[in-house]
Amino acid sequence: MFQNPILFYRNAQADGRTFRFYWGSTGSVLGVTIPRERRYSVSLRRVLMYKFFLFFVLMIAFTACVRPPEKLDPHFVILQYLSKSDSSNDSGNISDGTGTPVSGGANAPVACPVPALVFNPGGIIDTGQTTCWDAAGVGVACLGTGQDGAFANIPNARSFVGPTQHCIYTNDYTTLDQFHGLTWKTCAEGQSGAACGTGVSTQISWTAATTIPAPVGSCGALNAQNGGNGYAGRNDWRLPTVKELASLFHYSNAPQIDVVSFPAVFSGIAYMTDSTVTGTPTNIWVADFSDVAVLKAYSTPKGANLNVRCVAGNPLPPLAFTDNGNGSITDQNTGLIWQKCADGQAALTCMGAATNNTQTAAYASCNALNVANFAGRNDWRLPNVNELLSIVDYSVTNPSISTAMFPFVSPQAHWTSTSSSNTPSTGIVVSFFNGSLNRPNKATPLPSRCVAN
């Protein structure tokens, strides 16, 4: 009937209680009586209907357009880490005195003081090495050598605080890694006291240490102490991962750990980790603080009796890299910029064989990148052992690295700028077959990869 609703609407006129609708160009009148109240009601319903329809369309558009990021940036990763740490503040928890809240029962004592700290769980700390040696092991001035000792507190300063006596459980001592946010039991299992001078370290196998219920001498047993509140008021004690335990290495001390924060370290037997060797599921990674070269994945079965050092806190975040498209790779966790390909390979594709350099020649290859302003940078250097270890992926082997980011990696050991302080004519290398450490003579030809920060 109504063939022109727009014209129909625009020509409508009201007279009292009657609407006269003028239809078409002839001016014919169709008189329809509609109460004002109903007219207003119809108009209101239409307005609400239009608003609801518009809201519905906008919600569909918003849902279709907004997506979570495929890869969390490092700041969000850290925010997640801190949020997880803070989430345990609920339900009347108490603090362990190092900034991390722990569970408390109905009779929980007054909380310990909590320092205000911000952690960087995925970052890297300095190796602690401050001395430099030439290829023959003779001490030299560090300036301009490119060696580890020439870069103090690079990429970040070490910061271990302890032993700290718990304010409530006064027989319990912990050491806090203020950079990563991990809390370590100051003494190995079997030792106790502020100086770890009471008792001796006791050994247990990984098989026994991971048994439930947890046996004495295991990290799990610490969680049941102090009436269920746990050792030092924590009940999240566990075995460390290989990277967590390796972060304790101090490459100038003997034993090679921060000896003030971790006194009386027994170094005759290696310490176990909770990291199973990829490809050899019967073995675990271990670390020996008498010799940093003994971070190994072989001949260490899960049934072997080893020392135990327990840790509490959130694990390190997963590896996260970005290809910058110019021959460099950014590590989102550490902020370090890596040479995508080893020295000698094609800069963008990594095709070709890597050049095997002596450690001295490896320093020169990184300096050559600075002269060429490679990837727009002139701060390239040979990485220290902590830096190179940070890009190892222990979930894969041969090579133990992300081949999506670092293609055609040789599984050989790669040079670092860190020397072995025990035998300074040797240098520390990282194997990309499985992530183990070794210390060959500095004249040994091996691949190298540079880093910048």
Tell me, what's the pLDDT at 101? 44
266: confidence class by pLDDT, cuts 50, 70, 90: confident
Q: Which of the two residues, 109 and 365, has the higher pLDDT score?
A: 365
Local confidence band at 49 (pLDDT 50, 70, 90 cut-offs): low
pLDDT at 127: 96
Q: Is 233 a residue whose pLDDT tops 90?
A: yes
Residue length of the chain? 453
Q: Which two tokens stand for residue 128?
A: 């602690």
pLDDT at 316 over 70: yes
Are the C-beta atoms of 420 and 292 separated by less than 8 Å? yes
- In the chain the domains, ranked by start, together with CATH numbers, are 158-312 (no CATH), 321-452 (3.10.100)
CB–CB of 358/445 below 8 Å?
yes
Q: Is the pLDDT higher at 112 or at 7?
A: 112
- Interval 44-68 mean pLDDT: 54
Q: Between 351 and 57, where is the model more confident?
A: 351
Q: Which residue has the tokens 């009292």?
A: 16
What DSSP element (H or E) covers 244? helix 242-246
- pLDDT on residue 307: 96
Mean residue pLDDT across the chain: 83
Q: Kindly tell me if the per-residue pLDDT of 246 is higher than 60.
A: yes
What percent of the chain clears pLDDT 90, i.e. is strictly above it? 69
pLDDT: is 52 or 371 the higher one?
371
Task: Specify the pLDDT at position 61.
Answer: 54
Q: Which whole number is the average pLDDT over 156-169?
A: 97
Q: What percent of the chain has pLDDT over 70?
A: 74
Which of the four pLDDT bands, split at 50, 70 and 90, describes residue 290? confident
* pLDDT higher than 90, residue 64: no
| pLDDT-derived band at 57, boundaries 50, 70, 90 | low
Residue 348, pLDDT above cutoff 50: yes
- For residue 402, give the nearest of 415, 410, 392, 413 by alpha carbon: 392
Q: How confident is the model at residue 295 (pLDDT cuts 50, 70, 90)?
A: low
Token reading at 257: 């750990």
Burial class (CB in 10 A: 0-12, 13-18, 19+), 290: middle
Say whether pLDDT at 383 is over 90.
yes
Which one is predicted more confidently, 283 or 103? 283
Q: Measuring CA to CA, which residue among 74, 176, 72, 175 is closest to residue 123?
A: 74
- Does residue 426 have a pLDDT over 50? yes
Tokens representing 14 are 């009201």
- The whole-number average pLDDT for the span 81-91 is 38
With a cut of 70, say whether residue 154 has pLDDT above it. yes
- HSE, CB side, 13 Å, CA atoms: give it for residue 128: 20
Q: What pLDDT is recorded for position 123?
A: 96
